[in-house]
Structure 1
Amino acid sequence: MSADFIPPYIQSAPAPATLKIADADAEGGFVIINASDFDAETMTVYGAEPKAAKKPAKAAE
C-alpha cells in the first residue's frame, strides 16, 4: 500500500428486522428468522396466541 492510500468510508447497513418463531426442536423453544422470510401459513410467532381452530358451521334445523 502506498502512503497516500485512503480507504473508502464504509457505512454499515442496519440489521434486518427479525422475528422469533416457535420451534419445539430448538433449545430455547424458538428460532430467529428475518421478518421478510416469515410465512404466516406455516409459522407461528413465539409467544403469540395459537390460532383458533375454525368452529364447524351449525347445521340448519
Structure 2
Amino acid sequence: MSEKKAAVKFTKEQFLKSANFTPVQKDVLSSLLKDDEAYTLDQVQKLIEDFAKRTVN
C-alpha cells in the first residue's frame, strides 16, 4: 500500500519573505499570487518561469 504525500503549500506572504527568491522574482510573485490562496513551490517556480518566457506585443 503506497501513501501519497500532499505537497506542502505556502501563502503569498511566506513566499515573499523567503530567501529562495531574488527581489525581482518577489516583485513578480507579488503581482501574480493571490493573498487568500496557498501554493506549492513547484507551482510558484512554474509561474516565474512562464512569466519570464512571455513575449511582449
Give the TM-score normalised by structure 2: 0.31
- Considering fraction of residues, name the structure with more helix: 2
RCO (CA 8 Å, sep 6+): is it higher in 1 or 2?
A: 2
Give the TM-score normalised by structure 1: 0.30
- Considering fraction of residues, name the structure with more strand: 1
**Larger Rg: 1 or 2?**
1
